[in-house]
Amino acid sequence: MCRKADPVHVFFFTQQVRTDLSAERKEFMLKRVSLVLLAIALIVWVAGCSKAPEVQMKASDDAMQQAALGEAEQYAPETYMMALDTLNAAKAEKQAQDGKFSLFRKYGKSEEMYAAAQRLAEQALTDTKSAKEQVRMENLALVAKLDSLFVTVNKAVAGAPKGKGTRADLALIKSDLTTIEQTYKGALAEHEAGKYLSAKAKFEAVQSQLNRIKTEMETAKAKVGTK
């Protein structure tokens, strides 16, 4: 004999079933939302990794240009060349990634290399400023020595014994002195223009030539004294 169902029990049972189904649906929806968010995060991450580091590329190029304009290649050659080599390596790495399918591109390594090139270029420019100041001070010391040396040599030439045997030699020495003085004036102009390395090379050449003439005059004077 069938037992009649209790309406109250049926109601509560139905509500329980609905509650259980609702909980399962919520859990299912939460899982779906989580998966969607994870997928979005993955896509964003992949997109970020597959995008060329344009900002860092420009920053490193700008730093290299500033270093070149500041004459880092002349005053800080080792650091400058390290920066240039690193920049070229970064460009090669970036080009290698460009050739890959977009989802497989990874520019992280090239970005780090571009950043390293920027740091080296900035260091080269800093080193250049210090080196320039050092060369400038060395040039000033050379100028003081050369001014004194010019006086000594000109005095020695003016007091040299004159005769048939020395007239031609003295004329040649005076001609050399005129050329040396012109070189010296050119070196001074370069120094004033901030071309310190070029000026230094000329100052040193002038010093060498003046010392040569000074030695020749001293030797000639000694020979006359022994006669």
* SS3 annotation, the chain: CCCCCCHHHHHHHHHHHHHHHHHHHHHHHHHHHHHHHHHHHHHHHHHHHCCCCHHHHHHHHHHHHHHHHCCHHHHCHHHHHHHHHHHHHHHHHHHHHHCCCHHHCCCHHHHHHHHHHHHHHHHHHHHHHHHHHHHHHHHHHHHHHHHHHHHHHHHHHHCCCCCHHHHHHHHHHHHHHHHHHHHHHHHHHHHHCCCHHHHHHHHHHHHHHHHHHHHHHHHHHHHHHHC
Which residue type does 55 have? V
Sign of dihedral through CA atoms 14, 19, 22, 24?
Answer: negative
Q: How far apart are CA 91 and CA 44, in angstroms?
A: 24
Residue bearing the bigger pLDDT, 18 or 84? 84
pLDDT in tens, 79-117: 999 999 999 999 999 999 988 887 788 999 999 999 999
Give the residue-averaged pLDDT of 182-199.
97
pTM of the predicted structure, to 2 decimals: 0.70
Which residue, among 123, 37, 45, has the nearest Cα to 81 in the 3D structure? Answer: 123
Tokens 């390290």: give the residue.
Answer: 82
- How far is Cα 205 from Cα 178, in angstroms, rounded to an integer? 14
Predicted local confidence at residue 7, as pLDDT? 54
Confidence of residue 22 (pLDDT cuts 50, 70, 90): low
